[in-house]
Structure 1
Amino acid sequence: MMVIRPVIQDDLAALRELAAKTGVGFTSLQDDEAQLRARVERMIGTWQGKLPLSEQGYLFVLEDTDTEKAVGICGIEAAIGLNEAWYNYRVGTLVHASKALDIYSQMPTLFLSNDHTGHSELCTLFLDPAYRHHKNGQLLSKSRFLFLATFPDRFGSKLIAEMRGVSDEQGCSPLWESLGRHFFSMDFAQADYLTGIGQKSFIAELMPKHPLYVDFLSEEAQAVIGQVHPDTIPARKILEAEGMRYEGYVDIFDGGPTVEAYIHDLRIVREIRSWPVEIVENSSGSANTFYLVGNESFCDYRVISGTPEFSETHIRLTRDQADRLNVGAGDTVRAVTLFAQETVS
């Protein structure tokens, strides 16, 4: 069985294995043992109530219970940009007009922005390629929405997710080559690595503060603004199916889009229901309707997916499902359909 749980120190070796498979452009999961260890410690400190809001974050792993190994990772940052400025580009328009010459032109531009300061962020979604089947990706990504719905007071009103932008197999980003390299004098992979390990001050020191005209960029760079890396297309589709939308903000390095939504507008948050648990020997469930099921324990959070049965008053879980969720008969869990356009009985 696959189960979502909070990250622990013993996951470090597995996390490094995952980080080694991500490739250039995956800023939030770097193959750096010291950085990974510090981040895991910060996540544990959040669950223990030791950190201020500006430092709070949550990391979850997808564990294969047969091997007891973490094979996927996903995260939520509680409030971004409160310690260090959070930068992205807002895609906008500047108008140049002259009545005397009868000229009117609209020029697409990139404005350096801190507009998402204080918002919560979905981050660090990565699933081992060997496990990209049987709805594991859906479970990994959407389990975070279940956590947001269960503990809403720990997050801001708005949620964002920065999507990985376009780069080739050698780590070359068209936007970086046409824009970023002129100001930073380093390779995209190096800038990506520095931001991933938290060294972001160089962005404020070197990035131009005035609007940049998109038409001055190469055609290749213009074409990737707001586009995702091919490997990120499934992740974007999952988020958009739950109500997140691109609103014209992109990453300053690779031009990848930011999708966003008010948390209360997310499909899972709107449709989730609480159910008392009934333990059954076997559950035939519905072969066509999958559910996310999560417990209500903050420090011992668990989520599984499956096809449980429902009575008028209870959710019926097998003993194995209940054990994976760390719940017993009479305890309350939260459940919601894994996909939209399905409703709980």
Structure 2
Amino acid sequence: MIIIRPIQSSDYDALHRIAVESGHGFTSLPVNEKLLKNRISHAEASFNSSVTEPGNEGYLFVMEDTKTGAVVGTSGIEAAVGLDDAFYHYHLGKVVHSSRELNIYNTVETLSLCNDYTGASEICTLFLSESHRKNRNGRLLSRFRFLFMAEHTERFADTVIAEMRGVSDESGASPFWKWLEEHFFSLDFPTADYLTGIGKKVFIAELMPKYPIYVNLLSPEAQKVINKVHPKTVPALRLLEAEGFSRRGYVDIFDAGPTVETQTALVKTVRQSQKCQVIIGDVVNDNKYIICNDKIADFRATQAPVLLRETAKQVVISQAVADALMVNEGDWVRLVSN
């Protein structure tokens, strides 16, 4: 069975392997032993903390194949970004240059450095190993986070965002960063991306241009990738768009990939999820649901066929699913159709 659970210290080797597999542009998992171990310990502390409002908690989960015990994916939620370290974006805007006397009117796009998403919750760190990109596991690994957020609303902000990976080539070179590197940074994209991933962000404030950048002054290659996603990220973007996420003109400062956002309460999975009381029994249908328990430190989620008794707010699940979710008859679970 495939389950999702909070990460623990014994998962370090698996997390390191995932960090290597994920490649360039996956800033939230740098290949750095100290940082990865810190990420795990921070997650463990977050899951065990008593929370009344979102703070600097970071919840990191892993997907485990219980047949082999192998960790095959990871997925995370940051409760509120930018509270400790500045959280930078570029915002796409417009400036109008006009002269009535000369009958000239030109609209120019600009990129302005900002911290507008400070305090928002962020879904992040989604990666699934190639071997398990099947059986709707990718949807499970993305969508279960919204069940967790719906169940524990006090831990998350009203706005939730997701930074989508921008365009870069196989060697990690970004056309957008290439222009910034040439004119402002003298750092290649993988190095800048890595420094950000390990928390060294001071260089951004020190070296980033202080005034809005006119988009039409960028190289044609850089202009083409603004607000575009990496080909491998297209499925993830489509899934989030189906959940109600949309672009608001914010892009990543390194690769210009889009950031999408929505109100947490308006996420499709949040709105359509329901709480039901567990009945353990035989389930013969094929109607698969994403289902999770109501715990935090002992959180578990999976996808499984269930028999929903909607009017009575009850759900029939098999004993194997109950064991995987660590629930007993009479306990409450949250679920949504997959």
Structure 1: gaps spanning 5 or more residues? 339-345
In the TM superposition, residue 23 of structure 1 has moved relative to its aligned partner by 1.1
Q: Report the more deviating stretch, 157-166 or 310-319.
A: 310-319
Aligned to 1:81: 82
TM-score by structure 1 length? 0.95
Listed one character per residue, the Cα deviations across residues 20-61 of structure 1 (whole Å, up to 9, x for unaligned) are 111111101112111100011011111221799542110010
* Pairing 1:22-101 to 2, within 5 Å after superposition: 22-49=22-49, 53-101=54-102
Aligned to 1:303: 301
* Pairing 1:138-157 to 2, within 5 Å after superposition: 138-157=139-158
In the TM superposition, residue 283 of structure 1 has moved relative to its aligned partner by 1.2
Listed one character per residue, the Cα deviations across residues 87-109 of structure 1 (whole Å, up to 9, x for unaligned) are 00001100001112111100011
Aligned to 2:12: 12
Could you say what secondary structure the match of 1:21 adopts? helix
Distance in 2 of aligned mates of 1:29 and 1:132: 20
Could you say what secondary structure the match of 1:55 adopts? coil
Does structure 1 conserve the Cα–Cα contact (< 8 Å) formed by 2:273 and 2:336? yes
Matched residue type, 2:288? F
Could you say what secondary structure the match of 1:20 adopts? helix
Could you say what secondary structure the match of 2:22 adopts? coil
- In the superposition, relative to structure 1, how do residues 11 and 181 fare at CA in structure 2: closer, same or farther (>3 Å)? farther
Does structure 1 conserve the Cα–Cα contact (< 8 Å) formed by 2:9 and 2:37? yes
* Pairing 1:188-267 to 2, within 5 Å after superposition: 188-267=189-268
Tell me whether 1:164 sits opposite 2:165 in the alignment. yes
- In the superposition, relative to structure 1, how do residues 53 and 272 fare at CA in structure 2: closer, same or farther (>3 Å)? closer
Q: Report the more deviating stretch, 46-55 or 26-35.
A: 46-55
Aligned to 1:343: none
Q: Report the more deviating stretch, 21-30 or 317-326.
A: 21-30
Could you say what secondary structure the match of 1:39 adopts? helix
Does structure 1 conserve the Cα–Cα contact (< 8 Å) formed by 2:305 and 2:317? no
Distance in 2 of aligned mates of 1:126 and 1:141: 9
In the TM superposition, residue 179 of structure 1 has moved relative to its aligned partner by 2.2
- In the superposition, relative to structure 1, how do residues 262 and 3 fare at CA in structure 2: closer, same or farther (>3 Å)? same
Listed one character per residue, the Cα deviations across residues 248-297 of structure 1 (whole Å, up to 9, x for unaligned) are 100010000000000011111111111111111x3112x3x421111001
Matched residue type, 2:217? F
Matched residue type, 2:319? R
Matched residue type, 2:334? R
Distance in 2 of aligned mates of 1:321 and 1:50: 28
- State, as a whole percentage, how many aligned pairs show the same letter: 48
Does structure 1 conserve the Cα–Cα contact (< 8 Å) formed by 2:43 and 2:57? yes
Does structure 2 conserve the Cα–Cα contact (< 8 Å) formed by 1:74 and 1:124? yes
Could you say what secondary structure the match of 1:125 adopts? strand
- In the superposition, relative to structure 1, how do residues 36 and 181 fare at CA in structure 2: closer, same or farther (>3 Å)? farther
Structure 2: gaps spanning 5 or more residues? none
Distance in 1 of aligned mates of 2:227 and 2:105: 26
Listed one character per residue, the Cα deviations across residues 209-268 of structure 1 (whole Å, up to 9, x for unaligned) are 211000011111111111111111111111111111111100010000000000011111
Matched residue type, 1:67? T
Does structure 1 conserve the Cα–Cα contact (< 8 Å) formed by 2:27 and 2:196? yes
TM-score by structure 2 length? 0.97
Listed one character per residue, the Cα deviations across residues 126-150 of structure 1 (whole Å, up to 9, x for unaligned) are 0011110110100001110110100
In the TM superposition, residue 181 of structure 1 has moved relative to its aligned partner by 3.9
Distance in 1 of aligned mates of 2:232 and 2:32: 22
Could you say what secondary structure the match of 1:80 adopts? coil
